[in-house]
Amino acid sequence: MATITVRDVTVKERILLHLSKFSSVQPGQEYNVPFDLTQDGIAGVTGITRAHASLDLKRLMDQGMITNWQAHQKGVRSKRLVYSITTAGLRRAELISEKLTAAGIDPDIFLDMKRCTPEIKWNALDDRDRETFGKACVLRVPIPREVFPPTKVGNLPADVCGNIMIPPETARDYLARIPEAEIAKWHGWAADWWLEQGNIQERLYHLIRAGRNLESVKFAVRHSDEFVSNPNEDLLDLLSKLEAPESYMEELAWLRSRVAVDCRNIRAADECARILHKLKSPLEEAVNAQIQLMHGKYGKAFELAEAAYYNLRLPVCAVTVSKACLAMGDLKGANGFAVMACDTMREIGDAKDIDEILKIRAEIAYREGHKDEALALLGKADAAAPPYRKKILQNLISALNDSSGEIRFG
């Protein structure tokens, strides 16, 4: 008698093995039926296309192995067609399972990796499949399943949109069995894939995890304007992991400080200021001015930012001075430095903070009693602002339109 191998297990048998895991779901159950019992769920777990699943599900229905009905899934309003195994199907699944077990094959390896013991699953994979599963495990943002080749054993779990969806704890369990050098190679692959997609933050993450530190530093500095336009705590954490050579220390500390300030992370901004101090960089004053502004020490913030502006001619320093002036009630001073910031932006050909200037001018107009002018300036600021600053501006516009009371610009 021939020995059964993993290649001998048919798609219909995989479906029965999968549905046997949900034998407690009774036909006609109307609510909270698992996604795994939909056509999409079955296709995803068994590693086949939706069309293929449809054909084999019909054949199993004709054979009396499964049944179907319309039911609600958790969180979904409309009903969907769902499937469950019949008594005959369950008997067949048990026979398949017994046959596989007798051949030394764990039946669960034919299902997706979330349902398998990592060690058993990993041992069942050949080198090519291990490469595929490993690459999928290093990702932290879902990507389309078709990016990867088909796998011979089991399946990569995917969501309803067809994107790879491996829970972090599952990925950690699998990667714990892999040499660091191999994992670094897969991160390198992911870094290059994200470069093609234009996602610079994911590329930076994978470059760091690949151990390509110098390349990571150069990449971060080269794309500093784009990173500053999308500040977030994850990015700040990534930048903190970089070890910059001396020639890049100042640029990297300045980039990290800009992200830290926009994230309102005073501790990280302080660390950047200390680095710039050790480097004897004039940018230290600019960072400290913003830190003092966050602390509410407006006089000190004004003093430091004014000195930094005349020393460095950076628009962000003029913006800081304007904000300090506004906080102290000096509208004339705030307007004067807002104008200086605009002039400097024109001189250097860099208008990335123009929305901040327009917001300052809108606040000045509002405080002087010119509500319509303030609304017009806020509209222009909204049009020029990066996505992360738009919400604040839109809230201000709504507040000005809807309220007759005093508005705080923040």
Query: Considering the entire predicted model, what is its pTM?
Result: 0.76
Hey, is 199 helix, strand or coil? coil
User: Model confidence over 108-144: pLDDT tens digits?
Assistant: 767 665 556 666 667 667 788 888 889 999 999 999 9
Note whether 140 and 169 are within 8 A (CB): no
Number of H helices, E strands in the chain: 21, 2
At residue 160, the pLDDT reads 62
Hey, is 88 helix, strand or coil? helix
| Average pLDDT rounded to a whole number, residues 375-392 | 94
pLDDT at 1 over 70: no
Note whether 105 and 25 are within 8 A (CB): no
| Average pLDDT rounded to a whole number, residues 91-106 | 87
Longest dimension (CA), the chain: 95
CA atoms within 13 A on the CB side of 71: 23
Question: Cα–Cα distance between 342 and 320 in angstroms, integer?
Answer: 13
Query: Which pair of structure tokens corresponds to residue 169?
Result: 């704890």
Question: Cα–Cα distance between 380 and 382 in angstroms, integer?
Answer: 5
Q: Provide the β-strand partners of residue 71.
A: 80
Q: Provide the β-strand partners of residue 81.
A: 70
Phi, psi angle pair for 372, to nearest 5°: -60, -40
Q: Which of 81-90, 108-117, 218-227 has the lowest mean pLDDT?
A: 108-117
At residue 2, the pLDDT reads 54
* pLDDT, mean over the chain: 89
Burial letters for 213-240: b for 16+ Cβ neighbours within 10 Å, e otherwise? eeebbbbbbebbeebbbebeeebbebbe
Domains and CATH numbers, the chain: 1-111 (1.10.10.10), 112-178 (no CATH), 195-281 (no CATH)
Note whether 338 and 360 are within 8 A (CB): yes
User: Model confidence over 18-74: pLDDT tens digits?
Assistant: 899 888 888 888 887 888 888 888 877 776 777 778 899 999 999 999 999 998 876
User: Model confidence over 152-209: pLDDT tens digits?
Assistant: 665 677 776 778 877 788 788 888 888 999 999 999 999 999 999 999 999 999 999 9
- Which candidate, 135, 137, 134, 108, places its Cα nearest to that of 120? 108
- Which candidate, 73, 71, 66, places its Cα nearest to that of 81? 71
Question: Cα–Cα distance between 75 and 144 in angstroms, integer?
Answer: 23
DSSP 134-185: HHHHH-SS--BGGGSPP-SSSB--B-TTSBB---HHHHHHHHTTS-HHHHHH
At residue 153, the pLDDT reads 63
Note whether 382 and 370 are within 8 A (CB): no
In 287-338, beta strands by DSSP E:
none
